[in-house]
Amino acid sequence: MTQIDFKAEVAARKDDLLADLFSLLKINSERDDSQVTPETPFGPGPVAALQQFLSLAERDGYATKNVDNYAGHFTYGDDLPEDAEVLGIFAHMDVVPAGTGWASNPYEPEIRDGKIYARGASDDKGPTMACYYGLKILKELNVPLTKKIRFIAGTDEESGWGDMDYYFAHVGLPEPDFGFSPDAEFPIINGEKGNITEYLHITGDNSGAVHLHSFTGGLRENMVPESATAVISGDLADLNTKLEAFVSAHADKNLRFETETAANGQVTVVLHGRSAHGAMPEKGVNGATYLAKFLNEIGVVSPFTQIAGTILIEDHAGDKTGVAFEDPKMGALSMNAGVFNFDDASSDNTIALNFRYPQGTDSEAISKVLVALEGVDTVSKSTHEHTPHYVPMADELVSTLLDVYEKQTGLKGHEQIIGGGTFGRLLKRGVAFGAMFPGDIDTMHQANEFIPVDVLLRAAAIYAEAIYELAK
């Protein structure tokens, strides 16, 4: 076969790639449980994004299948023998909530200083379209392949992966033989820690000079809460002065607050930190744990705020909580206190802790430690759990992808094991591959999420050659 200049082929399609990507980024595909119907299993936004993605594939001549709006796919190489191996590519159309703090509308994509700003730009619509165009190049050049390709897009990756559970149960096809997900970073992610959310159920006294009526914080379990809100009453003398002193005492966290007094004398306090991906909680500032710490200091006496503001605050590795664990190969456990709910009229108040755990421990061992915490009544677990996943370096899938990465970048490839969970782990021989490069700024799950245009194009060229090498 004549040598293909993949970078030149991508450059020739730059405008089309950006236009197609923008058509996806303009869709608010956050999960919305308030609008769930049989036709919109995770709300209308994820469905709209999935349908738009499949419409692009239909436009380009692929055979598509929408599996009841949970997930869908398109296929390439349908003329190959029935027993040909299948390369799976897994992406997702859903996004985490945009939250606050954006310099522009998160669903009106903009290019500023060479970067595409929008929710989903880097997680995962941008990488998805880079990979889509990688395959599109091979199709348009009519490059002969010996393996079939199934490009699968889900709609619930950021929550419970109910999309993939439903897809595999109803698609009527066997799993692909091997594959990758363009939803992480280069050079490769061939290992992923286990992922489980455990819920602390807390009751107990709510006394003290300041009474806590309610406390909420966090949008998703896999996001560091950007802010939290508490409604309080009682001895609130000099409240704003105390808040200013608290913010000043933690100046390195760049906290900010606002208050509002209701007619009944109750005061609503909102404290803002900084969001981040739940797999890397140390990169954010948890507004909920800092608000709980403040409430403890001004007179709230509650097991809820005591746990949140004393034990969980800055406890990213689970040291104070008592669940810390480290494996020589997969690294240390991480913990994100993601969603907080307290109501003084409720006997069941909860804090959701999202764990990324290595081999050597498990969710049951974590539960046994958590339930022994003072103030915790019971601990429950999310219905969906991912156990640790690893594909050896010797596997041809891993070695091939690293070879392509090294050829295109001139950089040495190496294995990586992360706390984040990707669709790469759906297959026994599955990995995550790109699209973020070493040294890139990671803005996933944060305000002002972006992907540089040049990164998008570089990734597309790598994906084109990678798909060719895996399926030739």
Q: Determine how β-strand 349-357 pairs with β-strand 334-343.
A: antiparallel
Q: Determine how β-strand 331-332 pairs with β-strand 334-343.
A: unpaired
Nearest Cα neighbor of 94 from 133, 41, 137 is 41
Give CATH 3.40.630.10 domain extents, the chain: 6-193+388-471
Tell me, what's the pLDDT at 419? 87
In this prediction the pTM is 0.82
Q: How far apart are CA 440 and CA 434, in angstroms?
A: 11
Q: Give me the architecture of the 6-193+388-471 domain, per CATH.
A: 3-Layer(aba) Sandwich (3.40)
Q: Which two tokens stand for residue 315?
A: 């406890």
Q: Determine how β-strand 194-202 pairs with β-strand 349-357.
A: antiparallel
The maximal CA–CA distance of the chain, rounded, in angstroms, is: 79
Q: How far apart are CA 132 and CA 219, in angstroms?
A: 30
Q: How far apart are CA 56 and CA 133, in angstroms?
A: 11
Query: Given phi > 0 = left and psi -120 to 50 = alpha, else beta, which region is 434?
Result: left
Query: Given phi > 0 = left and psi -120 to 50 = alpha, else beta, which region is 28?
Result: beta
Give CATH 3.30.70.360 domain extents, the chain: 195-381
Tell me, what's the pLDDT at 204? 72
Q: Determine how β-strand 148-154 pairs with β-strand 86-92.
A: parallel
Fold of the domain spanning 195-381: Alpha-Beta Plaits (3.30.70)
Q: Which residues are annotated as catalytic?
A: 94, 157
Per-position pLDDT tens, the chain of length 472: 568 999 999 999 999 999 999 999 999 999 999 999 999 999 999 999 999 999 999 999 999 999 999 999 999 999 999 999 999 999 999 999 998 899 999 999 999 999 999 999 999 999 999 999 999 999 999 999 999 999 999 999 998 899 999 999 999 999 999 999 999 999 999 999 999 999 999 987 788 999 999 999 999 999 999 999 999 999 999 999 999 999 999 999 999 999 999 999 999 999 999 999 999 999 999 999 999 999 999 999 999 999 999 999 999 999 999 999 999 999 999 999 999 999 999 888 999 999 999 999 999 999 999 999 999 999 999 988 999 999 999 999 999 999 999 999 999 999 999 987 899 999 999 999 999 999 999 999 999 999 999 999 999 999 999 999 999 9
Vertex 322 angle, CA 318 and 328, to 5°: 65
Q: How far apart are CA 163 and CA 219, in angstroms?
A: 20
